[in-house]
Amino acid sequence: MSGQITPIGMPKWGLAMTEGKVNAWLVAEGAAIAAGDDIVEIETSKITNVFESPVAGTLRRQVAQPGETLPVGALLGVVAEAAVDDAAIEAFVAQYRAHQAEIGSAEAAPEPVMVAAEGWTARVLRMGPDETAAAPLVLIHGFGGDLQNWQFNQPDLAAERAVYALDLPGHGGSSKVVAEGGVAALAASVWAALAALGLGRVHLAGHSLGGAIALRMALDQGARIASLTLICPAGLGPEINAGYIDGFVRAERRKEMKAAVETLFADPSLVSRDMIEDLLKYKRLDGVPAALRTIAAAAFADGVRASVMAPSLATLAVPVQVIWGAEDRIIPPAQAAAVDAARRHVLPGAGHMVHIERPAEVNRLIAAFVAAA
Amino acid sequence: MSKKSFRQAVNEALAQEMRRDPRVIVMGEDVAGGLGAPGEDDAWGGPMGVTKGLMPEFGRERVLDTPITESGFIGAAIGAAATGLRPVADLMFVDFMGVCFDQIFNQAAKFRYMFGGKAVTPVVIRTMYGGGFRAASQHSQCLYPLFTHIPGLKVVIPSSAYDAKGLLIQAIRDDDPVIFFEHKMLYDDIDEVPDEAYTIPFGEANVLREGGDLTLVALGRMVKLAREAAESLARQGISCTVIDPRTTSPMDTDTILESVADTGRLVIVDEAHPRCGMAADISAIVAQEAFGALKAPIRMVTPPHTPVPFSPALEDAYLPTPARIIEAARRVMA
């Protein structure tokens, strides 16, 4: 019976999340839902997001009540076909709870590891099946970000294949010394990390500066790239919000950082106190301000006119798609026009951090594109 | 990133700065421990074990046990700073500062001013403060308001292990004399502390919680109590902003004033004596700069104006508690 019953557990978004608060159910008990429907809104200390149903069926139970704070993995609700009888649902809930009580919070979440690559040390988080023939997907974050930017994407995308998210040089937990900060140098660093990880042919998805790096890698060694997903990428056109880059690099205080980071989102209320605090903690580390200045000067100086790569797309043999937030205030979505209309997805209601603001759609687009490549 | 105690955070800051800069030295009573007693090297690392491990790594040239003569070694540290070293002097209990006020108030604090900006005095004086340790009235005072009162000194009061490491590294790299206050009851508090070196700028408050009804300002160990009170108040429907100024000189008054402009209500929690203390000082600033925003009188939660009692029962009654903070919050909300 339990094959037809799907538990909705408290998700784990990001390395630090241990619990979440149920803000509101978005679907009534007894309502029919499709796979991908928003069913419950969950708030963590860092961000609020909606959780989507992984399956179609009927929301049979809202086990967790709005306002409740529960640990990762705790049962929030149950989805099943309408045909499954109530007794079976009750038994399932009881069994799930007993199992949770037994394992407690000991269930091991994947932890990032430090990888010694040529020229730098990369922090890398791997998720997904241990052994799979499918080419892995590598996620490359943007300027000032880190692998946790993919917290809503990496777990979903790792259902079918191994997914690696890495911290770029000077970012997150990676080494902070950046000798040369240009897109080509950073692409070489990522190649070195892939070599250290023993990865051959990979799918790449890059956000912002990470998009420029991924595109550079595809232009360098197209045979090793199975597909390329560019999310609000730098590098296609010359325009970039230099005020943002400068503001982020300069920000030392909460207020300055908040003002800068709010421009990343269509909905600035997503910027939480903890998000700002984490960014300030990162920027206070020895070597980080210097690394960011080096990268900003080399990769973004004079707009990005020095390295506009859109003209090279015509010669690129790698399948490429572009995903953009329609309200991106960092890099204009008009630059998406460099990619064929069929592979161009401009999502309304989202800003530069489209993969955080609209994770479900971004995940679907990446999963489908990668599967077809 | 890993979990570290406040004690480990301070130790790591000292060790990393000593590795980075050969001019950084540590001196004080028992900071190495066992001087002249064979087989007892690095026995204690100070009364709380904070400096343990420094002497074996950096040697007796850079980790100096001093006689129990604060007036002597604090003066020596200030002189060493004036002539090119970056000493971190450990003055065990702030209560003993009295015997070296001239060195601190009249010498260290004045050099930059009296020599027209041509002299710097990059000395850090680490010191323990605060009650709750059953250590009676000569080993339990706060006294940071005294140092805040003196222009030319910087005064740092970390409330967590994360802040302790970042603020101490900043203090060591700062060219002015810094008095660094460590609460005895915080040494075993655990926090996420990066392994890498980092600095937290002086004069930047930490906002630990944001709420619209009430602003709670607290320092040092009181930050924990204010947070606890704010959590309890939240369950009662009163949402608080909790601000830890981190440093009282310089002090981030902007963050406090902006928050009061939003909430209109202010409670200040200070373990120092109420007269001429930080609570009184912050009250005066807010009353002067943001009177129009206030919807209720400012309230201070402090001990009474008496020495810290030795009797455990009286000491417990003397110190601020979450219950007293909640009571003050309810009164400004009424």
User: Alpha-carbon distance A92 to A29, whole Å?
Assistant: 16
Is a pLDDT exceeding 70 seen at residue A303?
no
Residue pair A324/A226 in contact (Cβ under 8 Å)? The answer is no
Alpha carbon distances (Å) from B65 to A126, B29, B43: 49, 5, 12
Please report the residues numbered 253 through 312 in chain B whose beta carbons come closer than 8 angstroms to any beta carbon of chain A: 255
Residue indicated by tokens 């950096």: B58
Q: Are residue A99 and residue A122 in the same domain, yes or no?
A: no
User: Alpha-carbon distance A366 to A152, whole Å?
Assistant: 13
Confidence band, pLDDT 50/70/90 cuts, at residue B26: very high
Q: Are residue A254 and residue A358 in the same domain, yes or no?
A: yes
Where do the domains of chain B lie?
Answer: 2-193, 206-333
Confidence band, pLDDT 50/70/90 cuts, at residue A280: very high
Q: Which of A78, A103, A128 is the last residue of a domain?
A: A103
- Indicate the residue of B199, B209, B210 with minimum beta-carbon distance to A284: B199
Q: Which residue has the higher pLDDT, A180 or B228?
A: B228
Q: Residue A280: which of B226, B8, B191, B163 has the closest Cα?
A: B163
- Indicate the residue of B196, B209, B210 with minimum beta-carbon distance to A285: B196
Sign of the Cα pseudo-torsion (A293, A140, A130, A221, in order)? negative
- Indicate the residue of A173, A273, A284 with minimum beta-carbon distance to B200: A284
User: Alpha-carbon distance A28 to A66, whole Å?
Assistant: 12
pLDDT at A36: 79
Confidence band, pLDDT 50/70/90 cuts, at residue A1: very low
- Look at residue A184 and tell me if it is in a domain: yes
CATH number, domain at A190?
3.40.50.1820
What is the rounded average pLDDT for all residues in chain B?
Answer: 95
Residue B235: closest C-alpha in chain A = A67
Q: Are residue A25 and residue A150 in the same domain, yes or no?
A: no
Q: Which of A51, A69, A103 is the last residue of a domain?
A: A103
Q: Are residue A175 and residue A68 in the same domain, yes or no?
A: no
B139 tagged catalytic: yes
- Look at residue A108 and tell me if it is in a domain: no
Q: Are residue A275 and residue A168 in the same domain, yes or no?
A: yes
Q: Are residue A271 and residue A158 in the same domain, yes or no?
A: yes
- Look at residue A60 and tell me if it is in a domain: yes
Q: Are residue A118 and residue A88 in the same domain, yes or no?
A: no
pLDDT at B111: 96
Residue A16: closest C-alpha in chain B = B192
pLDDT at A9: 87
Is a pLDDT exceeding 60 seen at residue A276?
yes
Contact residues of A toward B, CB < 8 A: 173, 176, 252-254, 273, 281, 284-287
Least confident of A99-103, A296-300, B133-137: A99-103
Q: Are residue A126 and residue A176 in the same domain, yes or no?
A: yes
A-chain residues within 8 Å CB-CB of B197? 285-286
Architecture of the domain spanning B206-333: 3-Layer(aba) Sandwich (3.40)
Q: Are strands B214-218 and B240-244 parallel, antiparallel or unpaired?
A: parallel
Decide if A286 and B196 are in contact by the 8 Å CB cutoff: yes
Q: Name residues whose C-beta falls within 8 Å of residue A340's C-beta, 6 or more positions apart in sequence.
A: none
Please report the residues numbered 83 through 142 in chain B whose beta carbons come closer than 8 angstroms to any beta carbon of chain A: none
Q: Are residue A10 and residue A78 in the same domain, yes or no?
A: yes
Confidence band, pLDDT 50/70/90 cuts, at residue A301: confident
Domain that holds residue A76: 2-103
Instruction: For the domain made up of B2-193, give the CATH fold.
Output: Rossmann fold (3.40.50)
Q: Which of A65, A80, A103 is the last residue of a domain?
A: A103
pLDDT at B32: 85
Count the neighbouring beta carbons within 10 Å of the beta carbon of residue B211. Answer: 18
Q: Are residue A260 and residue A364 in the same domain, yes or no?
A: yes
pLDDT digits (tens, 9 = 90+) for A209-250: 999 999 999 999 999 999 999 999 999 988 999 999 999 999
Residue A285: closest C-alpha in chain B = B198
Residue indicated by tokens 């040494």: B187
pLDDT at A363: 95
- Look at residue A320 and tell me if it is in a domain: yes
Is a pLDDT exceeding 50 seen at residue B223?
yes
Decide if B210 and A176 are in contact by the 8 Å CB cutoff: no
pLDDT at B2: 87
The arithmetic mean of pLDDT across residues A33-58, rounded, is 84
pLDDT digits (tens, 9 = 90+) for B101-141: 999 999 999 999 999 999 999 999 999 999 998 999 999 99
Least confident of A1-5, A29-33, A212-216, B94-98: A1-5
A-chain residues within 8 Å CB-CB of B242? none
**Percent of chain B residues topping a pLDDT of 90:** 90
Q: Give Rg (Cα) of chain B.
A: 20
Q: Are residue A161 and residue A68 in the same domain, yes or no?
A: no
Is a pLDDT exceeding 90 seen at residue A5?
no
Is a pLDDT exceeding 50 seen at residue A2?
no
A-chain residues within 8 Å CB-CB of B204? 252-254
pLDDT digits (tens, 9 = 90+) for B152-210: 999 999 999 999 999 999 999 999 999 999 999 999 999 999 999 999 999 999 999 99
pLDDT digits (tens, 9 = 90+) for B45-86: 787 889 989 998 999 899 999 999 999 999 999 999 999 999
What is the rounded average pLDDT for all residues in chain A?
Answer: 90
Q: Are residue A91 and residue A143 in the same domain, yes or no?
A: no
Please confirm whether the linkage preceding B56 is cis (ω < 30° from 0): no
The arithmetic mean of pLDDT across residues B248-269, rounded, is 98
B2-193 and B206-333 have identical folds: yes
Q: How far is A51 from chain B (nearest CA, A)?
A: 25
- Look at residue A138 and tell me if it is in a domain: yes
Number of domains in chain A: 2
